[in-house]
Amino acid sequence: MQQTTQIQPSFTLKTREGGVASADERADEVVIGVGPAFDKHQHHTLIDMPHGAILKELIAGVEEEGLHARVVRILRTSDVSFMAWDAANLSGSGIGIGIQSKGTTVIHQRDLLPLSNLELFSQAPLLTLETYRQIGKNAARYARKESPSPVPVVNDQMVRPKFMAKAALFHIKETKHVVQDAEPVTLHIDLVRE
């Protein structure tokens, strides 16, 4: 008797820019605001994690909680707190996620000050795809007016000195693509079968 194994198809996530992103009234959405260079001029984080894979996990996390994820490119800043705050202000639920090209991520809420936030994930080299999925899940829970436990993160004091120079270069490259006072742009997501 011959045994057959079914291979699951594999998909890659690709982004495509649309028009100007506007605020929505959809209470069941979380807006993910990516940096100016994210998956456009830079395609991997500090630890070579593909941006498409990260977006795929963030979106999956939001959708697993029964909410809708919308992705926008924030062009006016390279500061992750302001990206997340801008995303929260576009979101019908008032909850947004900001992510820099290097991988640093923030969950934000519309009615907080820009440099305040719900959760900050500053040690990007320690974030895994599973962590990004959990970030999406927690953002969705905040959008449902729940008070989830913060996403557990690993802390390593040696990460900062090890990646400091590379992180600075990533930030400089991202900042080169900032367009002062630019409106955010909608990103359409395409799943491409591998």
Q: Ramachandran region of residue 151, left (φ > 0), alpha (ψ -120 to 50) or beta?
A: beta
145 labelled binding-site residue? no
176 labelled binding-site residue? no
DSSP bridge partners of 20: 185
87 labelled binding-site residue? no
122 labelled binding-site residue? yes
**Distance between CA atoms of residues 39 and 76, nearest Å:** 17
Give the chain's domains with CATH numbers: 13-193 (3.40.50.10150)
12 labelled binding-site residue? no
pTM to 2 decimal places? 0.92
79 labelled binding-site residue? yes
89 labelled binding-site residue? no
Local confidence pLDDT in tens for the 194 residues of the chain = 455 555 555 777 888 999 999 998 999 999 999 999 999 999 999 999 999 999 999 999 999 999 999 999 999 999 999 999 999 999 999 999 999 999 999 999 999 999 999 999 999 999 999 999 999 999 999 999 999 999 999 889 898 899 999 999 999 999 999 999 999 999 999 877 76
DSSP, collapsed to helix, strand or coil, labels residue 168 as helix
